[in-house]
Structure 1
Amino acid sequence: MEAQLNDTETAKSIWEKLPIKGKVNTWGEEIYFEIPVYKGPENPVETVEEGDLAYWPSGRCFCIFFGKTPVSTETEIKPASPVTLIGRLSGNPKEWAKVSEGETITLEKIPE
């Protein structure tokens, strides 16, 4: 699935490290996996939207939010702790429900 990264320093650091492979972890309707980027919080947020991509500084993880997490409320999607928003999915976020824990995921640049 394609995605657009934003212009945060964190997103730029991730872009520079691509391609990145990781082993999928799931937490509710969130996929996350450790990446080789070490950044502190950058404008951290406590709620996200379906389809948001984020960096979780506490775990040095790339996060894909396709729905609610175990700590979400009726009206808000919440990560485990504050995250840095780094982009958005271009496709249907619910497609990520097909990905299973332990699968390998690859983040890569799309040639222009």
Structure 2
Amino acid sequence: MPDLTVTVDDRPLEATWTDDAPETKAALESALPVAGDGIRWGDELYFDLALDAPPENAREAVPEGAIAYWPSGNKLCLFWGETPASQNGEPRAAAPVTVVAMLKDVTPLSDLEGGARVRLERAE
């Protein structure tokens, strides 16, 4: 069963929490639901979200489907493919991010054009 419902414009997606960032997960979970107008950077969308969370296992290269928090920029990011910073085809953030959840399927994002409204909430 999914932990989160992520809606990108009219595309509903499911996500599950990861275990390697407990403080960031707790901060995001207590802030839910959250939403913002996503800015597109390659196959990444990010939007403003201020959380009180330190970097945890922060890294630039992330798996496809990662939902990550960028603490120094106060942004929540969704990765589904290459970004301008990518190397060897992997999704890569511009600066270290903390992965807090994983999208189960990124296929619905493959034809996304431009930015999009992003909303995260607890799954029902």
TM-score, normalised by the number of residues in structure 2: 0.79
Deviations 1:4-50 (A, max 9, x none): 12242101110110011101101000011111313221111121111
Q: Of residues 79, 90, 95 in structure 1, which corresponds to 2:108?
A: 95
Deviation of 1:75 after TM superposition, in Å, equals 4.2
Question: Does the aligned pair in 1 maintain the 2:48–2:75 contact within 8 Å?
Answer: yes
Deviations 1:60-111 (A, max 9, x none): 11111100110111243210000111110012x1322444444322111112
Residue ranges of structure 2 left out of the alignment (5+ in a row): 1-12
Matched residues, number: 110
Residue ranges of structure 1 left out of the alignment (5+ in a row): none
| Cα RMSD after superposing both structures | 1.6
Q: Of residues 6, 14, 23 in structure 2, which corresponds to 1:9?
A: 23
For residues 16 and 100 of structure 1, the distance between their equivalents in structure 2, rounded to whole angstroms, comes to 31
Q: Of residues 28, 44, 47 in structure 2, which corresponds to 1:30?
A: 44
For residues 15 and 101 of structure 1, the distance between their equivalents in structure 2, rounded to whole angstroms, comes to 27
Question: Does the aligned pair in 2 maintain the 1:24–1:100 contact within 8 Å?
Answer: no
Partner letter of residue 121 of structure 2? E
TM-score, normalised by the number of residues in structure 1: 0.87
**Sequence identity (%):** 37
Is the counterpart of residue 58 in structure 1 residue 72 in structure 2? yes
1:109 alignment counterpart: 122
